[in-house]
Structures are given as C-alpha cells and as structure tokens.
A and B are shown apart, each in its own frame.
Chain A
C-alpha cells in the first residue's frame, strides 16, 4: 500500500534559521504530493503541492521539489519565523483515480525568537 514517512519532531530552531523537514513516500505511478500546515487549535491548510516529477511547489517562502528518483518531497524554508511554529504534514494522493490520500504523522516545528 501507499505510505508517507516524515522525520519525527519536534524540530526546534531559532528565528532566521534554515528549515528542512524530510518526507519520503511509497506509491505506484505518479502520485500528487502535498504539504499541509496545522497551526495550534486549527484545521489543516494546504501549504504547497506538486503534481508531477521535478515540479517545485512554493508558498510563503516554503518550497518542496517532487523527486521521483528518490521518492522524496522535502520541505525547506531559508529563514523561519516564530509565526511558522506549527505542525507540518506531508501527504500524497495516489494516481489512478483513488479518493484516499495518505498522510505522514506530522512534524512539529518550534521556532524561538
């Protein structure tokens, strides 16, 4: 079956540090890949997505590149802010018309001033 593996958290950084959250996946074909963010007390919001190999999704200074050869979709940001503190989920929607997405377990990010 499909699976998504994220690095375990929490990830603790100082403001303006570089962020990487690793995500790898297992799926057949060409799934669509997503990063969602969950701020405290809220639901998940789509942060960025990529639908085919070598696509780069970007939003709010975050980026992730769909790497088919390494089955990865790592999230990066050059300079984090305190307001980026949240839980980040990597997810995939399989190809072939399936309606069931697969989520990673989430990575908590804590940014200190």
Chain B
C-alpha cells in the first residue's frame, strides 16, 4: 500500500526556472493538500483541493499553481522559481477531515 507518493525527492533549480511537483494517492481520498515546511515556521498550507475538480488557496499561494488532475493526482507548479521558494514540500490527503496522510516530501533548492 503506497499511500501518498511524491516526486521528485530532491530538486535544484536556478532562479526563473519552472517545475512541477507530482503527488498521487491510492486511498481514494477526496481531499488533497500541498504544504511547505521551513525552519521555525512549521507547516504552511499552499493550496488544497477539497474534492476532484476544486482547488483553493491556502495561507501562502503566491508563486504557485496547482492542478487536480483526477481524484488520485494533485500537482504543484512553480512557474518562475525564486530563492524564497527553497523549502521542503509535502503533499497530503484526507477523507472527510478524519486524518491526514503525508508523502515523504520534496526538498527543493532554488539558487
């Protein structure tokens, strides 16, 4: 049982480059989330998708876009990466607000 799978695990970008972080879950959950984790800041919600076909901004959406491709997949795109987006990114999923399942994270460095 894979749970929540994120790719890639590590990525280094130059300022201005674009990339997409991929996330897939195999638990048939309706809700999916993207967080970033920075030292001393805890987890901050970037975007979430309450159900297939819907997406909404979280606490820190600027500089990011998302796509809920289908019920399983929820991708996060950085159109023009900035050093301030250096962080660890986590995808998560849940069913009806019962509990979150997290992926193992993507460590992103923007130079």
Contacts and interface: CB of A to CB of B under 8 A. Distances in A.
Contacts of A105: 40-42
A94 B58 CA distance: 16
B97 A98 contact: yes
B104 to A, nearest CB: 5
Interface residues of A, number: 22
B45 interface: yes
B103 A34 contact: no
Contacts, number: 55
Contacts of B98: 32, 93
Contact of A99 (B4, B40, B43, B50): B50
Contact of A97 (B58, B92, B94, B97): B97
30 contacts: A32-B97, A32-B98, A34-B99, A34-B100, A36-B102, A42-B104, A42-B105, A43-B90, A43-B102, A43-B104, A43-B105, A44-B90, A44-B92, A44-B102, A89-B42, A99-B31, A99-B48, A99-B50, A99-B94, A99-B97, A100-B45, A100-B58, A101-B94, A101-B100, A103-B42, A103-B43, A104-B42, A105-B42, A106-B42, A106-B43
Interface of B: 4, 31, 40-43, 45, 48, 50, 58, 90, 92, 94, 96-105
Interface of A: 32, 34, 36, 42-46, 49, 89, 91, 93-94, 97-101, 103-106
